[in-house]
Amino acid sequence: MIPKTEGLIAAPYTPMKPDGSLNLDAVADLAALLARNGVQGAFVGGSTGEGPSLTVDERNALTEAWTACAPPGFRVLVHVGDTSIEAARRMAGRAQECGAAGTGLVAPFYFRPRDPEVLMDFFAKVAEAQEIPIYYYHIPELTGVDVDVAAFIEAASLAVANFAGVKYTSSDLYGYALAQRAAGGRYDLLYGRDEMLLCALVLGCRAAIGSTYGFAAPLYIRLIEAFDRGDLEEARELQRQSMDLVRLLVGFPGSVLGSGKAIMAMLGVDCGPPRPPIVHPDAAQIAELERALDGIGFFSYCCR
């Protein structure tokens, strides 16, 4: 049985140079910042990491950089999802060779599976390429694939020996609760909506993966601590602060990814611009963003 995860795992931005090429030299600084702020690991090359915008070779190079510089005890999970089974298998094998703690696999998002059994077939073929733990990455808002996750877990528990659980990025808390109970509750359910973490904690969540944990982990660690000691008033207040942050990023001109990368530069780790078609804020917008962040108290809790 694969041990369950506890705590926060950040979904980091992929550092890029102004011309859009990878800036792998910045990965070490990014990993050090995450570890210093109390996260348990990184989910590399996922949605926040612009995985679908990178080539297979670039994604493997990113895996190599993260696994080479990860501090002791820091878990590197690698997103290997792709519309091509062979591409996903190639990245899964490389992740294992590099010493990654596990991988995550998003559903194929062009020719889409419509039921858990079809998705299970794709998932199992990729899982065969590795022995390390593998997670299904459920994010229907981006993939358009919204299968019954509880049914998928039941199937995976019987068919995939290295199945570890699900990165569950959806506001469907009913589905999340059902997935928590699937297969006897033996598997990780890593929640992926930062602004709803408290709701997931109430339903039994003990681990989460999210983009804002990359620059606001101390806020969420305090939230979890408040929940664990039964101080719901404090936990609700901290979740409200998170909601203010997420609402600011979602509503800001340009893109959430562009704004997030701009925040990383404010904190001393320049992750560069995102790749097109994602839009990066210009200098005036970044200055406006910094003022807005200061207005919600972001700089008082963003780092240790």
167 in active site: yes
Choose the catalytic residue: 13, 167, 168, 191: 167
261 in active site: no
- Residues 183, 152: contact at Cβ < 8 Å? no
Q: Residues with Cβ < 8 Å from 228, sequence gap 6 or more?
A: none
Query: CA 21, CA 53: separation in Å to the nearest integer?
Result: 11
Closest listed residue to residue 107, CA positions, set 69, 68, 135, 72: 135
Choose the catalytic residue: 135, 137, 168, 191: 137
Q: Residues with Cβ < 8 Å from 127, sequence gap 6 or more?
A: 92, 105, 134, 160, 162, 163
Residues pairing with 43 in the sheet: 77
Closest listed residue to residue 257, CA positions, set 268, 247, 249: 249
Look at the block and give the residue holding tokens 């990654």. Answer: 100
Task: Cite the active site residues.
Answer: 137, 167
